[in-house]
Structure 1
Amino acid sequence: MTDTQFSLPSPPFDSISKVQYSPTNPNQLLVSSWDTTVKLYDVGDEASGSKTSEQKCKFDHRAAIQRSATWISGPKKTNIVGSHSDAVSSLVYSKELNALISGSWDRTIRLFDPRTPTPEQSSYETPERIYHIDLVNNTLVVAMASRLFHIYDIRNMQEPKQRRESSLKYMTRSLACMVNGEGYATASVEGRIAVEYFDPSPEAQEKKYAFKCHRQTIDGVDHVWPVNALAFHPIFNTFASAGSDGTVSVWDHKIKKRLRQYSKFNNPVSSIAFNCDGTKLAIATCYTWDEGEQGARTERERPQVWVKTVGAEVKPKDWQA
């Protein structure tokens, strides 16, 4: 089977920090970048020739955008809703609470209501710098430095429901919640993914596991790459992983098997996202700074955002509609 994919026009000129589809429109995609921009695309279908993709608008900021663009509902204008004293590492939006939730290196989680004149609602301290947050229903997962995890019910943020330590030995690089609300997947800089469940009962915790991925033996030497991004399919609850090795794989975590590995890209993959109807996967390829400034001097392809049409390879083997 040949991969069906195309690249979007006018990509950012610096590393891409995040791609994220609209939660309601399968053709609208946000792309944030270290070039200080967030771009909104109307994604077409170049493969069939029925519609051409185009950049609809661009938002310019004063500093690099670090994995912190998200969709919210509200007025169509630019507002400053609040701030942190250090880098904002992650944003999610709760439609139920009308709350924009931010996590930061300043060791706080903050909730804002973008509709109000004074948006900041509350601030909660955490024991470490926050690397990633993700939300499913009312459950917020917070991944921090020192391999710490807190799990909150956003309706009562005074104390986390659970405090956990990562199942992985090295720094958390990515996090995504299961769409069915049962748990989450997390990945590290040393090519491993862990599948975790919210239910604290011994029976549920026996199901959690971790596995190696995004690794390759080259000339007898084992090479290990960071897993930069995870994304769950909105219908099938399988998930995709993306790494600095330039590959994207699809996994069925229930049967603990890889369903598909797509063709390798010429650059590392920094971010991935399924659209809301599960028919497309956005893939950002760019330099991810794993090799520091020396790697940045190497001649390579410019950043690109690819859109891949997905099919049966993302469906569990036992799926019944």
Structure 2
Amino acid sequence: MALVKTALSTNNSTLLDTGVEFPKGPEDTVSALRWSPAFNHVAAACWDGHVYIYDVTHSTTIGGIKGIRSITANAAFLDCDFSKDGTLAAAGATDNKIHVIDLASGNTMALAGHGAPVRAVRFVDIPRAGTHAPLLVSGSWDRTLCYWDLRQPQPIGRISLSERVYAMDASGPLLAAATPDRQIHLVHLDGGNPLAVSKKLQSQLVHQPSCIAVSADGSHWAAGSIEGRVDTRAVDEKEGQKFNFTFRCHHRPSSTSPKSVTEIYAVNALCFSPRRRDVLASAGSDGTLFIWDLGRHQRLKSLPALDGAITAMAFSSSTSNTSNTNNNRDKLVYAVGYDWAKGYRGNTATYPRRIVLCDVGDLGSGKK
């Protein structure tokens, strides 16, 4: 089925709360945020050479959010993730290495196996792998995906791709990687051969991909690009009749040019709700954040435009929850920072840099 460009309704959109700001930490742009699947921990990978790990159990005030660990390297960090049991955090860096920390002991190690910066890391479950050790997948600008058993210093498997990995995500049985030639590489982790690309698709986005997200159950994926548009698809062909489309999300009328001129901003981050496979959040270079109901083709909630670009975000895990809310309310953490959209001249000392946690309410748990 051919994809179509869809205009999503915004009539029912409601505003999100302003949220609680994290204590001062990152001194440069946050490139990635991840929420632990087991605890109320948030990891922030940063260009300042650190991964900051916070405990957000008591998150009603800035004083309640505590920094608990950090990873340090002589390189910028581009991505991070937690192991499934929440005991480990891993991060990919521009020194071509993956840095791993044991959160209980604080012990760290570095994995070297890529020939270029590591753009993305994800802990995964592979039922046929025959090991109970944490398994990690990394995507690099050396055009490969590497599988790691953290008990070994070298990759246990490798997949060669058509181009550099610009974005990667994995959840449930699905791994998806986007490359600058606008190819989406899908790997099925629970069947067939996880060491081979099971399907390669041409993205319907015209320009360079910037981010990709996989739903919690692995049934959907969505890719964003620098053109302010999202390509969303279902793995199942029957569901594709409803969910396979592209839509515009970070465009707005120009404030300085004639009304006929539209300003286009990059989609910097995407993430699916952990409890609703058809609910997707997008954040952009325009400083806006939207939550979309893909099944109904409408925008559910939004943040007012902020004073800087939103560079990263993450939903709370369905199994973790802050102490002062009930399990029917979702949390979302996002980072404001410079994304180099205006070149080096825009990277001023006064540009806002912060991490914020907000309550997005009950997004539901139905499979629509």
TM-score, scaled to structure 2? 0.79
1:16-27 equivalences under 5 Å are 16-25=30-39, 27=40
Q: Structure 1 residues 320 and 148 mapped into 2: Cα distance closer, same or farther (>3 Å)?
A: closer
* Deviation by residue 1:29-55 (Cα, 9 ceiling, x = unmatched): 0011000000110114453x5971111
* Residue pair 1:10, 1:55 contacting (<8 A) in 2 also: no
Q: Structure 1 residues 34 and 320 mapped into 2: Cα distance closer, same or farther (>3 Å)?
A: closer
State the alpha-carbon separation in 2 of the partners of residues 126 and 50 from structure 1.
Answer: 43
* Residue pair 1:99, 1:112 contacting (<8 A) in 2 also: yes
RMSD of the TM alignment (CA)? 2.2
State the alpha-carbon separation in 2 of the partners of residues 309 and 139 from structure 1.
Answer: 28
Give the counterpart of 1:34 among 26, 38, 47: 47
State the alpha-carbon separation in 2 of the partners of residues 297 and 69 from structure 1.
Answer: 26
Shift of 1:236: 2.2
Matched AA of 2:361: G
Give the counterpart of 1:152 among 184, 187, 192: 187
Shift of 1:138: 2.3
- What is residue 11 of structure 1 aligned with on the other side? 25
State the alpha-carbon separation in 2 of the partners of residues 263 and 240 from structure 1.
Answer: 14
* Residue pair 1:170, 1:188 contacting (<8 A) in 2 also: yes
* Deviation by residue 1:37-96 (Cα, 9 ceiling, x = unmatched): 00110114453x597111112211110011x21112565421123331111110000144
State the alpha-carbon separation in 2 of the partners of residues 2 and 80 from structure 1.
Answer: 39
- What is residue 295 of structure 1 aligned with on the other side? 346
Q: Does 1:58 align with 2:70?
A: yes
Q: Structure 1 residues 2 and 281 mapped into 2: Cα distance closer, same or farther (>3 Å)?
A: closer
* Deviation by residue 1:156-196 (Cα, 9 ceiling, x = unmatched): 23432111010111111111111232120111101101111
Q: Structure 1 residues 33 and 2 mapped into 2: Cα distance closer, same or farther (>3 Å)?
A: closer
* Deviation by residue 1:290-316 (Cα, 9 ceiling, x = unmatched): 111011137422x1000001213x348
Give the counterpart of 1:162 among 177, 199, 204: 199
State the alpha-carbon separation in 2 of the partners of residues 204 and 239 from structure 1.
Answer: 16
TM-score, scaled to structure 1? 0.90
Matched AA of 2:82: W
Matched AA of 2:218: G
- What is residue 275 of structure 1 aligned with on the other side? 316
Q: Does 1:311 align with 2:341?
A: no
Matched AA of 2:208: M
Most deviating of 177-186 and 8-17:
177-186
Give the counterpart of 2:135 among 82, 96, 99: 99
Q: Does 1:83 align with 2:113?
A: yes
Most deviating of 89-98 and 246-255:
89-98
* Residue pair 1:124, 1:157 contacting (<8 A) in 2 also: no
Matched AA of 2:119: S
What is the aligned-residue identity percentage? 26
State the alpha-carbon separation in 1 of the partners of residues 72 and 26 from structure 2.
Answer: 12
Shift of 1:10: 2.0
Shift of 1:4: 4.6
* Residue pair 1:82, 1:112 contacting (<8 A) in 2 also: no
Shift of 1:204: 4.0
- What is residue 253 of structure 1 aligned with on the other side? 294
Matched AA of 1:41: Y
1:106-255 equivalences under 5 Å are 106-114=142-150, 116-154=151-189, 156-199=193-236, 201=237, 203-207=238-242, 208-219=244-255, 220=259, 221-237=261-277, 238-255=279-296
Shift of 1:2: 6.8
State the alpha-carbon separation in 2 of the partners of residues 99 and 305 from structure 1.
Answer: 29
